Amino acid sequence: MSTSIPMQKLVVDETAYETTFTPKFEKRKPYCPSNPKELRAVLPCVVRSILISTGQEVRKGDRLLVLEAMKMENQLLAPLDGTIKTISAHLGETIPKGKVLIEYA
């Protein structure tokens, strides 16, 4: 008797994969930021570079910060168009998970 698990298609960066999803994954709540105008640290990190300034207009996809987490540098990109209201991060600062880094006006 064969019990085949149905495969599902997953597309990441324009590459399609076939995989199975666990019941826990399928029942999860979709991610929704509590305030889309606040960018928070998703991991503890160190600020390596600040590429924008307060009052600057940014477009979705613009580079905002370079953060180092788990020995890797990661670029924080603008999730939407707008004006930078505040930058709470400082160069070289160690940031805890969840801290607000940038706030849009």
> Is pLDDT of 78 > 60?
yes
pLDDT tens digits, 12-69: 888 999 999 888 988 998 877 678 899 999 999 999 999 999 999 999 999 999 999 9
Structural domain includes residue 94: yes
The reply to whether 4 falls in a domain is no
- Tally of domains within the chain: 1
Residue 1 counted as domain residue = no
Q: Kindly state whether residue 88 falls inside one of the protein's structural domains.
A: yes
**CATH code assigned at 38:** 2.40.50.100
User: Residue 45: inside a domain, yes or no?
Assistant: yes
For residue 66, give the nearest of 95, 86, 38, 37 by alpha carbon.
95
CA distances from 33 to 48, 56, 64, 84 (A): 24, 23, 18, 18
Domain enclosing residue 82, as ranges: 33-104
The answer as to whether 8 is a domain residue is: no
Looking at the domain assignment, is residue 49 inside a domain? yes
What pTM does this model have? 0.69
